[in-house]
Every structure is written in structure tokens, then in C-alpha cells.
Amino acid sequence: MSVIATEKFQVITNALQALREQKPLVVNITNYVVMNNTANALLAIGASPIMAHSRQEMAEMMSFSGALVINIGTLDSQWIPRMIYAVEQANLNNKVVVLDPVGCGASTLRTETSRQIAALANDLIIRANASEIIALAGETAQSKGVDSLDSSEAAVDAARYLTETYHCNVVISGEVDYIINAENEVTLHNGHVMMPNITGMGCSLSALTGAFAAIGEKTGLAAAAILGVAGEIAAEQSAGPGSLQMNLLDVLYQLDADAINTRLKMTVK
Amino acid sequence: MSVIATEKFQVITNALQALREQKPLVVNITNYVVMNNTANALLAIGASPIMAHSRQEMAEMMSFSGALVINIGTLDSQWIPRMIYAVEQANLNNKVVVLDPVGCGASTLRTETSRQIAALANDLIIRANASEIIALAGETAQSKGVDSLDSSEAAVDAARYLTETYHCNVVISGEVDYIINAENEVTLHNGHVMMPNITGMGCSLSALTGAFAAIGEKTGLAAAAILGVAGEIAAEQSAGPGSLQMNLLDVLYQLDADAINTRLKMTVK
Amino acid sequence: MSVIATEKFQVITNALQALREQKPLVVNITNYVVMNNTANALLAIGASPIMAHSRQEMAEMMSFSGALVINIGTLDSQWIPRMIYAVEQANLNNKVVVLDPVGCGASTLRTETSRQIAALANDLIIRANASEIIALAGETAQSKGVDSLDSSEAAVDAARYLTETYHCNVVISGEVDYIINAENEVTLHNGHVMMPNITGMGCSLSALTGAFAAIGEKTGLAAAAILGVAGEIAAEQSAGPGSLQMNLLDVLYQLDADAINTRLKMTVK
């Protein structure tokens, strides 16, 4: 590994160790489909999920939590003001916000809400697939529902535009993951073709991104590297997506620096 | 196999191939309990689930999707107008609607809402258990919560009444599945006694019915045959309902024409 | 075993047999995160889950169901009146209410709502972790989100206070479970350290407590003993929390008096 790659590897494994020691609380306002997976992914890696959305308790929840994850997967007019209020509370408490703009580009509602949240959060990480990143940046996306039709590479310029517009870090996930911020770009080449056959894999990545941000790793690198490696190991043990969903939690629970070291395929620009 | 059974078998395997090639988008307004299962069953067979319910985006969603699945499992006064509006958008876009009237007969709210949706949809498939079919048709059902106490056979007359009243196709699922429409009746004898020990098996069947309808197989036969065969294979590999839930997704993902051919127990009237 | 321990063991195994014969209907108003697990845990043990919350059907639902489980895990101002109305219907129909005050102490909203429901229910069982029990009783709890920081033992005085204040039975779950009521106290020492690494284990215990209450076992003992033993067996077969979640349903499905007899670690005061 190059010096800078070795340094990045250290960032990842140190973050994993810190997360397991600190067990950060992560508030999730996420969609109905993946709430269970998201909570379980956070528990499996060693974090403490809080699934809460009421404005009557959000100020309290954000005061003692480490990060906020906003996922718009099952959006409606009732959830939007809850999300906005939660981001405001995160801002007041200087907590990082992870935005997962599920289906951005598939409807005007999703595109506009994603931009509203991105503009509001003071300390922001955006985690999305290529179609969503392109749509969020305002280009014409080839969106097909909530799945991405574009390769991650096609979204890199859009992601750079987002980092400048919202002063944020961006993670484009896909066959190749791009970790993009003002300083540098990292690409990750782990994962498995079976991973998109489970719902909520991207949502789990956003949740883990929040957990690592809560202990200070705000680039999104540690979460993407760890989920990529864990997904790859889990998929190799799995006959199909049902097994993969189960094995992924087991592998996240067991994962150590050695497994990351053996598997990680990373390039740094 | 008889000539007509061979023809039906071809319908099923051709539909599976077409679904995997076309990866149809299916919009689901379903209950909180099974959203994750439903999305995963659709992904496992090869379709693309969209879980969306807001009226602010439903016109857009139905314009590029192939079918709408409405499941009333966790019904309330807030969800009913969302369902109605979605069916109207499906009608405007000439898309098929699958209605899963969960617990029809267990409460007046469910019975009346089911009839309202059935009457509204232009191109309708009803997928339900015997109790729900009987209640929907207005006879006295021996409903016990959301599970069926009646055998599928007891609901055949009610199902025929529904096909005439709503100009729809009907699938009665149970130990024996009945595929009923104006032309003919098919019975399927696959499945396993352990299948009712997982929540949402019927909901998954309704979702798959929507996916096959989206590629033109609107009788409900392909979905019922495939879930029956897949459930049977999965249950034989399973020590209990937890394993069955996992194995079912693996088997749906792997299923091919050979497995269907070997297993399918079908009679055509 | 002592005479009284033998008697308690009989209570547990008789309750399991009665539950499987009677398949009681249990209405659950629970949180979005665990609805699927809760329904599956009830099905696996042999009960019939109804997940319903609308006031338009709750009077009907409670008239033919055996118990009501209220879980405040994803609480908001819309769900509170639904919960209150359901408890009123349970009271009118002389049905037991199980309260799971998830995150009680973590926000004023949760603490006050928990107390309101506890005060309203005529026939009440409270099932919670130590932090929640302490907060519900009004002492200063060391709450950290929805997980417990306190040992079950630390909550015993608070639990006694609750049994007197609300004339209820209390189950404190944790490394040691306490079954507390006016007559006696039982402690259970089963379970496994991996169990808190899945979301909703406590929620499943509350649901099972409702199922056993529906067939007349209202102390909470049978549910806690059975989930403790089943979780222990399942965890020993599991490489991580993903497998544990699956195996737990399989073990609940298969569990018999012999397995309980071999494993149960119970002390009676």
C-alpha cells in the first residue's frame, strides 16, 4: 500500500475500534421498509440505534445522540416537517447529518425535499447511488424507481458539485464506491453483485455512515469500506439474498482489522 | 400433462423469464408489518419494488411503473385516501391493480374499504385467503383475525361472484390455491404446512402477482405457482419459520423452469 | 427443584401447551421497527397476531381478541390517542394490557405516555428493562437511548413500587429477569449475551407476554422463561445476531417441555 493508502486503512480500522468502544447513539428517521435492517446493522457493528421522529422529543434525543440519519425512502407530507425539525435540532447541537435521498429524481417531491434538507444541514454527509447524486445535483438522471441505472463514475462530477454547493462530504455507492470531499477522492472496489438483491443495503450504509460520523469519521470512508468488505464476505457464504441479509449481520458483528486488511480494494487520488 | 396443462406450464415459465428480463417496477402501498418482506420477495424474483404512498408523487410513480399492489393490512383513515388516489392514478395510466384485502371480514372498516377499492380499479386482480374472499363477497365468513378458518374450496362460489361483480381475476390462496377467472379455473397443490407460520406469506404472493401482471400475466397463475413451488422447496430445507423466511428468498432467486416442472401440481378445469 | 419451583415449572409448560391449543389472538400496537419480528415471534410460538391500530376498528378487534400489547418504540402524537383508545377498549372487554414502555426516561414524551397508559389499563402487565422501570417509577434513571444501563436488580424496588401503584404485574428483563407481583418474586437466569445485539428482543418478549396472558398466564413468567430458554438455545447455534434472529423463530417453533426442563434456571423467593 502507498503511504496515503496505509493512512486511510488506519482511519478505517481505528474508526471501527473507536465505534465499538464508544457505542455511539445514532438517531434515525428512516423509511418503513428498512427500519428493522437499519437498527440491526447498527447493533451488529456495535452502535446504538434510536428510531425516533416525533418533534415532541427530538430536541432531547439530539442533545444526547452522536449523529442524525435522514432517509426519505417512504416520504410524505407528514414526515417532511419531522425531518426538517430534526435537522434543525442536529444543527443546534452541532451534530452531523447523513442524508440518504432515496429515489431522488424519481419524483419532484423527493428531489425538492432532498435539496431542502441538504441546504439546511450544517454538517452534512450525502450517501446515495449514482442516479440520486445526479438528480440531486440537477442534471438529467436516468432514474428507474429507487434503483440506480448509472455507474458511480457517471456521478462523480455531480458529486463534486454537491461538495461545493453544500460544503459536504459525498459517498456514491455502487459497484465502485466513491468517497468524495474537498481534499481527495477514494474509490472502493469491494462488494458483490448479489448485494442489490436485498432491499435497504444502501440504507444500512447510510446508517453506518452516521455511526462512524458520531465518533468523528466524517468522510464516509470507514462505513463504505466496512460494508463493502462485510457484504463481500457474507455474499460468498450465501446461496441467495435471504442468506445474504442474515450473514451480513453476522459478518458485521465479527469483522476485525485482519479481514479488512485482507479484503480491502482501495485506490486514493 | 394435458395439452391445456402444458400450455399453462408454459405461461408460468415464460412469465418468469419475461419478468427477469424486464425487471418491472411495481408500486406497493402495503402494511407496515411486511414492507421489508414484500420488497425482498420482489427483488429475489427479479422485479423492482417501489414502496411509495404520498399523493404528491403517486401520479409520477404510476406513470413509469408496471402495476400497483394495494394491501390493507395496517389500515387507517390516513392510508385509505392514499390507496384510493393511487388506484385512480393506476386507472389513468391503464395499469393493473392487485388488491390484498387483509382481514376483510374482521372489521367493517376493512370490508368496506376492500369493496371500495375493488369497485374503483379498472383492471383488477384480487388475491386473498378464503375467509377474506367470502367476506368480500358479502357472505358470512368465519373470520378469525387475519388468518383464514375456511378451506379455499369453501370460497370458490364467492370468488366466482367477485369475478362477475368486479370483472376481475381472483386468486384464493391456502392449502390449495384457486386461480379463477371468466375463462377457466386452475387449482394448485403446492406449498407446505409451515408457510402460514410466517407473517406476510400472502402479502408476498400479492406483490409477486403484481410483478407478473406488470409483464402481462394477469391471471395470478404464475405468481401462485412460483410461490407455492418455492415455498415447498424452502420449507423442506427449513427447521422452522425463521429458516423458511430466509430460504424462501434464496429459492425465489434461484428458481428455474426445471424446478417448477418437477414440482408443480396443477389441475385445470 | 423445590415444591414451589416445580409448581412454577408446571405453570410454564402448561401455559405453552394451552397457547398452542388455543392459538389466542393478540392485538399489537407496536413500533415500526419490530412489527415483523413481533408478528413472527407470536406465530412461531403458536399464537395469532393482529397488527391493527385504527380507532375505526379497535372496538371490533378487542371484542374477539385475547389481549392487547402496547409498545411505544416509535411514539408520536398520532399514535398516542390510538393507544389510549385501544386500552379503553381492552378495559371494556376485560382484556389484559401489556405495556412495553420503550425508551421511558429517554424523553418526557415517553415517560408521560407510559404513565398515562399504565394508569388507564385495568388489568396490566409492564414488561421493560431496568432503566425503563426505574424511569417509569419516577426515580433518576441512567437511560441511554432505548437500551438499559442498569442491572435488573437495581430496578427491583422501582418494580415493587409499580406493582403497588398500578396494581399490575411487572417483568424486568435483562441478564437476569425478575417476575414481580404482589405474591412473590421469581428470577430467571437464562438468555445469552448476544441477545441485546438484535433489535426488538424485548418487544418480542412483550408480545409473547400478551399471548400467554390471553390464555390466563398473567404473571409474565411463562413468556420470560420461554424466550430466555429459546434465546439461549438459538444463540448457541448462531455465529452472530443475523443467525440468532432466524434461529430464535425456529427454536420457538420447536420448543417443548423437555428443553425447558433441561435449561430453565429459576429461583423463587
How would DSSP label each residue in B151-176? -GGGGHHHHHHHHHHHT-EEEEESSS
Banded model confidence at residue B232, pLDDT cuts 50, 70, 90: very high
> What is the Cα–Cα distance from C260 to A66, expressed in whole angstroms?
41
Q: What is the mean pLDDT of chain A?
A: 95
C partners (3+ CB pairs within 8 A) are: A, B
- Residue A1: the pLDDT is 63
For residue C104, give the DSSP letter.
Answer: B
CB pairs under 8 A between A and C: 98
3-state helix, strand, coil in chain B (%, to 5): 55, 15, 30
> What is the Cα–Cα distance from C155 to C130, expressed in whole angstroms?
5
pTM for this entry:
0.96
A10 in contact with chain B, both atoms CB, cutoff 8 A: no
**What is the Cα B91 distance to its own chain's centre?**
19
- Residue B141: the pLDDT is 46
Own/partner contacts of B179-182, CB < 8 Å, gap of 24 or more, are B179/B219, B179/B220, B179/B221, B179/B224, B180/B156, B181/B219
CA-closest candidate to residue C199, choices C36, C14, C13: C36
C25 in contact with chain B, both atoms CB, cutoff 8 A: yes
Give the CB-side neighbour count of residue B16, counting CA atoms within 13 A.
26
> Taking the CB of residue C146, how many other CB atoms lie within 10 A of it?
26
> Taking the CB of residue A239, how many other CB atoms lie within 10 A of it?
16
Tell me the per-residue pLDDT of B79-136, one tens digit each, with 9 for 90 and over. Answer: 999 999 999 999 999 999 999 999 999 999 999 999 999 999 999 999 999 999 999 9
Cell numbers 402524537: residue: C77
B197 in contact with chain C, both atoms CB, cutoff 8 A: yes
Cell numbers 372498516: residue: B109
B74 in contact with chain C, both atoms CB, cutoff 8 A: yes
3-state helix, strand, coil in chain C (%, to 5): 55, 15, 30
* Closest residue, chain C, to A35 (C-alpha): C33
User: Chain A: nearest CA to B214, how far in angstroms?
Assistant: 15
B25, B35, B48 member nearest A32 (Cβ): B35
- Residue C182: the pLDDT is 82
CA-closest candidate to residue C204, choices C98, C120, C118, C97: C98
List residues bridging with B100 in a β-sheet: B71
Tell me what the mean pLDDT of segment C150-166 comes to. Answer: 92
3-state DSSP call for residue B179? strand
Q: Are B53 and C56 in contact (CB under 8 A)?
A: no
B135 in contact with chain C, both atoms CB, cutoff 8 A: no
- Check CB contact under 8 Å for A147 and B48: yes
C259 in contact with chain B, both atoms CB, cutoff 8 A: no
- Check CB contact under 8 Å for C239 and A252: no
- Check CB contact under 8 Å for A199 and B54: no
- Check CB contact under 8 Å for A53 and C33: no
Question: What letters, b where the CB count within 10 A reaches 16 and e where it falls short, cover A198-222?
Answer: bbbbbbbbbbbbbbbbbbebbbbbb
Tell me the per-residue pLDDT of C240-259, one tens digit each, with 9 for 90 and over. Answer: 999 999 999 999 999 999 99
* Residue from C25, C55, C57, C85 to probe the interface with B (highest B Cβ count within 10 Å): C57
> What is the Cα–Cα distance from C99 to B234, expressed in whole angstroms?
36
Q: What does each C-alpha distance from A53 to A64, A68, A93, A157, C25 come to in angstroms?
A: 15, 11, 16, 33, 30
Q: Are A12 and A222 in contact (CB under 8 A)?
A: yes
Cell numbers 440537477: residue: A138
List residues bridging with A268 in a β-sheet: A186
List residues bridging with C127 in a β-sheet: C171
* Closest residue, chain A, to C145 (C-alpha): A50
- Check CB contact under 8 Å for A199 and B253: no
- Check CB contact under 8 Å for B107 and C249: no
Tell me what the mean pLDDT of segment A78-88 comes to. Answer: 98
Tell me what the mean pLDDT of segment A24-46 comes to. Answer: 97
Domain ranges of chain A: 3-268
- Check CB contact under 8 Å for C145 and A250: no
C-alpha cell at B89: 392514478
For residue A154, give the DSSP letter.
Answer: G
3-state DSSP call for residue A4? helix
**What is the Cα C140 distance to its own chain's centre?**
23
Between strands A124-129 and C177-180, the pairing is unpaired
Q: Are A222 and A252 in contact (CB under 8 A)?
A: no
C-alpha cell at C125: 402487565
* Whether the predicted pLDDT of C229 surpasses 80: yes
Banded model confidence at residue C141, pLDDT cuts 50, 70, 90: very low
Tell me the per-residue pLDDT of B140-193, one tens digit each, with 9 for 90 and over. Answer: 544 445 566 678 888 999 999 999 999 999 999 999 999 999 888 999 999 999
Q: What does each C-alpha distance from A25 to A18, A20, B176 come to in angstroms?
A: 13, 12, 48
> What is the Cα–Cα distance from C111 to C97, expressed in whole angstroms?
18
* Whether the predicted pLDDT of A93 surpasses 90: yes
Question: What letters, b where the CB count within 10 A reaches 16 and e where it falls short, cover A146-164?
Answer: bbbebebebbbebbbbbbe
Query: Any idea how long chain B is?
Result: 269
Share of chain C above pLDDT 70, in %: 96
User: Chain B: nearest CA to C172, how far in angstroms?
Assistant: 26
List of chain B residues whose C-beta atoms are within 8 Å of the C-beta of residue C60: 106-108
Tell me what the mean pLDDT of segment A10-17 comes to. Answer: 97
Banded model confidence at residue C142, pLDDT cuts 50, 70, 90: very low
> What is the Cα–Cα distance from A57 to A52, expressed in whole angstroms?
8
Judged by average pLDDT, the poorest of A255-269, C95-109, C142-156, C203-217 is: C142-156
User: Chain B: nearest CA to C71, how far in angstroms?
Assistant: 14
Tell me the per-residue pLDDT of A115-174, one tens digit each, with 9 for 90 and over. Answer: 999 999 999 999 999 999 999 999 654 444 556 667 888 899 999 999 999 999 999 999
For the purposes of burial, counting CB atoms within 10 Å of the CB of B159, is it exposed (0-12), middle (13-18) or buried (19 or more)?
Answer: buried
C-alpha cell at C88: 379503553
For the purposes of burial, counting CB atoms within 10 Å of the CB of C21, is it exposed (0-12), middle (13-18) or buried (19 or more)?
Answer: exposed
Share of chain C above pLDDT 90, in %: 90
> What is the Cα–Cα distance from C140 to A78, expressed in whole angstroms?
34
Which residue spans within chain A are E strands per DSSP? 25-29, 48-51, 67-71, 96-100, 124-129, 169-173, 177-180, 185-188, 266-268
Question: What letters, b where the CB count within 10 A reaches 16 and e where it falls short, cover C23-43?
Answer: bbbbbbbbbbbbbbbbbbbbb
Sign of torsion over alpha carbons C153, C154, C159, C160:
positive
User: Chain A: nearest CA to B44, how far in angstroms?
Assistant: 6
* Whether the predicted pLDDT of C226 surpasses 60: yes
* Whether the predicted pLDDT of C77 surpasses 50: yes
Pick the CATH number of B3-268 from 3.40.50.10320, 3.40.1190.20, 3.40.47.10, 3.50.50.60: 3.40.1190.20
* Whether the predicted pLDDT of B196 surpasses 80: yes
> Taking the CB of residue B99, how many other CB atoms lie within 10 A of it?
31
CA-closest candidate to residue B143, choices B125, B162, B129, B126: B129
Q: What does each C-alpha distance from B65 to A32, A106, B26, B42, C88 come to in angstroms?
A: 20, 11, 6, 14, 43
Banded model confidence at residue A217, pLDDT cuts 50, 70, 90: very high
C-alpha cell at B43: 427483488
- Residue A183: the pLDDT is 82
- Residue A5: the pLDDT is 83
Tell me the per-residue pLDDT of C36-50, one tens digit each, with 9 for 90 and over. Answer: 999 999 999 999 999
Tell me the per-residue pLDDT of A95-117, one tens digit each, with 9 for 90 and over. Answer: 999 999 999 999 999 999 999 99
For the purposes of burial, counting CB atoms within 10 Å of the CB of A251, is it exposed (0-12), middle (13-18) or buried (19 or more)?
Answer: buried
**What is the Cα B149 distance to its own chain's centre?**
19
Angle at A33 between CA A30 and CA A34, to 5 degrees: 60
- Check CB contact under 8 Å for A61 and C198: no
> What is the Cα–Cα distance from A76 to C24, expressed in whole angstroms?
36
- Check CB contact under 8 Å for C35 and B32: yes
Banded model confidence at residue C30, pLDDT cuts 50, 70, 90: very high
The amino acid occupying position B267 is T
The 3-state secondary structure of B128-148 reads EEHHHHHHHCCCCCCCECCEC
A145, A238, A240 member nearest B44 (Cβ): A240
A73 in contact with chain B, both atoms CB, cutoff 8 A: yes
> What is the Cα–Cα distance from C222 to C169, expressed in whole angstroms?
13
Residues 6+ away with beta carbon under 8 Å from C211: C19, C24, C26, C42, C45, C47, C66, C67, C223
Q: What is the mean pLDDT of chain B?
A: 95
- Residue C149: the pLDDT is 64
* Closest residue, chain B, to A110 (C-alpha): B57
Tell me what the mean pLDDT of segment B46-52 comes to. Answer: 98
List residues bridging with A13 in a β-sheet: none
- Check CB contact under 8 Å for C145 and A65: yes
